[in-house]
């Protein structure tokens, strides 16, 4: 939601791996390109692409988004879900990023963990976190709030975080249901353990959507839908990078909260896709907390000083905690690193070090997936049939080819966020 200004973040050619289907992993680079409805003819290819990608409207939504907005948050405007219905939902959700909202109210709502919107709308919407205590989740909270403020029928916004406490996570859900919420978006850090409350909401007619591929068993049955990239494909893409750049030696996996579906998704698919000459010597949770990253990386370096690569979701966590661990060990911050997020701080550190022995590949942070999850739930309330999975294609970026150190952005931020830069600076002054 960068006000749709593609020019704010450099858009250079991706050098690693697009995934349209898992079978394509390991073939030529830059395979991903999902058509957004063009004919594919020479004439169409030669024509200037339209400024807006539009596929129609329905269920209170316009399935349209500025090409510049899509390119800003997805790297390319064509990296939309392949399925037609999913693509419509994605266009509707991301297209709302360009609608004018009250930013002062959004900031107040973000700071106060909820608010009344002042519209008199009858709907109460909730973002329920099991763990919300890092920048990534706080940015997702703001994306959720901004999306909610584009709907005048939303009168109240609720936010809660369980601070990694399973008992509180259940209590937060019960409290939201008692308040009569109309829809819920969540990231299920505790995975399938959350099924009882997710199903309770679903059975009560409350659509529940997850984002960042927060996969819980039986989407479409236990809850409405899961939005995000296929994390198994992400893991295989990581493996492609490691196989071609590391070739042989020790690497390590870092994950987030223990048992979370995002980490498990890519880790379970990266490891078997690696060459036999590459050994995964550690697989450690970090709670996506830079201080814990520092502790974990320090321990791994002490045992495996010649480690050649790291796979992780949280780029800034590695740029802060991981870099600090390397410095404390008196070792140069080198190796091949694959990340899911495009945090500005990690990109700027990479540029500052300017070390040819440091390689960094990253995906979009995916904060804006929460917008698509929100819109999917709103469409469900209007009677739409929502796919159980809304899947975005994957294309990793090489930091040397596409710079994630975008001038003017806070170091904590993702440059592919759709939060207006003026608002981001107020969130992280």
Which of 37, 6, 373 is CA-nearest to residue 215? 373
For residue 15, pLDDT beyond 50? no
User: pLDDT tens digits for 209-242?
Assistant: 999 999 999 999 999 999 999 999 999 999 999 9
pLDDT, residue 48, reads 81
Q: Which residues contact 109 (CB under 8 A, 6 or more apart)?
A: 115, 145, 149, 157
For residue 165, pLDDT beyond 60? yes
Average pLDDT score over residue span 325-334: 98
User: pLDDT tens digits for 246-305?
Assistant: 999 999 999 998 989 999 999 999 999 999 999 999 999 999 999 999 999 999 999 999
Q: Which residues contact 337 (CB under 8 A, 6 or more apart)?
A: 309, 310, 311, 312, 315, 318, 358, 359, 360, 361
**Of 27-41, 62-76, 132-146, where does mean pLDDT reach its minimum?**
27-41
Provide the β-strand partners of residue 19.
394
Token reading at 412? 């904590």
pLDDT, residue 47, reads 73
Average pLDDT score over residue span 44-58: 84
User: pLDDT tens digits for 175-205?
Assistant: 999 999 999 999 999 999 999 999 999 999 9
Average pLDDT score over residue span 167-180: 96
**Is the torsion defined by CA of 111, 112, 114, 116 positive or negative?**
negative
Domain span(s) for CATH 3.40.50.2300 in the chain: 100-230+411-427, 231-362
Q: How confident is the model at residue 3 (pLDDT cuts 50, 70, 90)?
A: very low
The verdict on pTM exceeding 0.85 is yes
Q: What is 100-230+411-427's CATH topology?
A: Rossmann fold (3.40.50)
User: pLDDT tens digits for 69-99?
Assistant: 999 999 999 999 999 999 999 999 999 999 9
Average pLDDT score over residue span 19-48: 41
How many helices (H) and strands (E) the chain has is answered by 15, 17
For residue 11, pLDDT beyond 50? no
Q: How confident is the model at residue 343 (pLDDT cuts 50, 70, 90)?
A: very high
pLDDT, residue 38, reads 40
Burial of 85 (0-12, 13-18, 19+ CB in 10 A): middle
- DSSP string of 11-24, one letter each residue: -----S-EESSGGG
pLDDT, residue 18, reads 41
Q: What is 231-362's CATH topology?
A: Rossmann fold (3.40.50)
For residue 349, pLDDT beyond 60? yes
Instruction: Tell me the C-alpha distance between 90 and 111, whole Å.
Output: 27
């Amino acid at each position: 939601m960068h006000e749709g200004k593609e020019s704010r973040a450099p858009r250079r050619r991706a050098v690693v791996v697009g995934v349209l289907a898992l079978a394509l992993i390991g073939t030529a680079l830059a395979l991903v390109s999902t058509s957004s409805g063009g004919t594919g003819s020479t004439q169409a290819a030669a024509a200037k692409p339209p400024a807006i990608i539009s596929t129609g409207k329905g269920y209170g939504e316009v399935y349209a988004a500025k090409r510049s907005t899509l390119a800003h948050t997805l790297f390319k405007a064509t990296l939309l879900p392949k399925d037609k219905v999913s693509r419509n939902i994605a266009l509707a959700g991301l297209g709302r990023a360009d609608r004018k909202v009250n930013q002062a109210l959004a900031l107040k709502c973000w700071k106060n963990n909820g608010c009344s919107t002042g519209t008199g709308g009858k709907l109460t919407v909730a973002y329920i976190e099991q763990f919300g205590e890092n920048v990534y989740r706080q940015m997702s909270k703001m994306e959720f709030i901004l999306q909610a403020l584009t709907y005048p029928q939303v009168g109240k916004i609720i936010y809660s975080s369980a601070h990694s406490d399973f008992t509180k996570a259940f209590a937060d859900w019960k409290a939201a249901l008692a308040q009569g919420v109309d829809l819920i978006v969540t990231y299920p850090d505790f995975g399938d353990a959350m099924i009882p409350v997710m199903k309770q909401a679903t059975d009560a007619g409350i659509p529940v959507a997850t984002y960042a591929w927060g996969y819980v068993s039986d989407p479409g049955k236990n809850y409405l839908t899961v939005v995000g990239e296929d994390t198994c494909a992400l893991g295989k893409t990581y493996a492609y990078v490691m196989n071609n750049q590391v070739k042989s030696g020790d690497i390590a996996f870092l994950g987030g909260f223990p048992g979370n579906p995002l980490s498990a998704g890519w880790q379970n698919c990266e490891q078997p896709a690696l060459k036999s000459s590459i050994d995964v010597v550690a697989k450690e949770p970090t709670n996506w907390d830079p201080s814990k990253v520092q502790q974990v990386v320090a321990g791994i370096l002490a045992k495996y000083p010649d480690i050649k690569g790291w796979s992780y979701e949280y780029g800034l966590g590695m740029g802060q905690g991981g870099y600090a661990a390397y410095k404390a060990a008196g070792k140069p911050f080198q190796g091949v690193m694959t990340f899911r997020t495009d945090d500005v701080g990690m990109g700027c550190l990479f540029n500052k070090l300017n070390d040819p022995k440091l390689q960094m590949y990253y995906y979009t942070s995916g904060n804006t997936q929460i917008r698509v999850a929100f819109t999917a739930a709103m469409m469900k309330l209007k009677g739409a049939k929502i796919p159980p999975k809304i899947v975005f294609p994957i294309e990793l970026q090489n930091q040397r080819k596409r710079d994630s150190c975008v001038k003017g952005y806070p170091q904590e931020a993702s440059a592919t966020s759709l939060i207006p830069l003026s608002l981001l600076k107020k969130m992280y002054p």
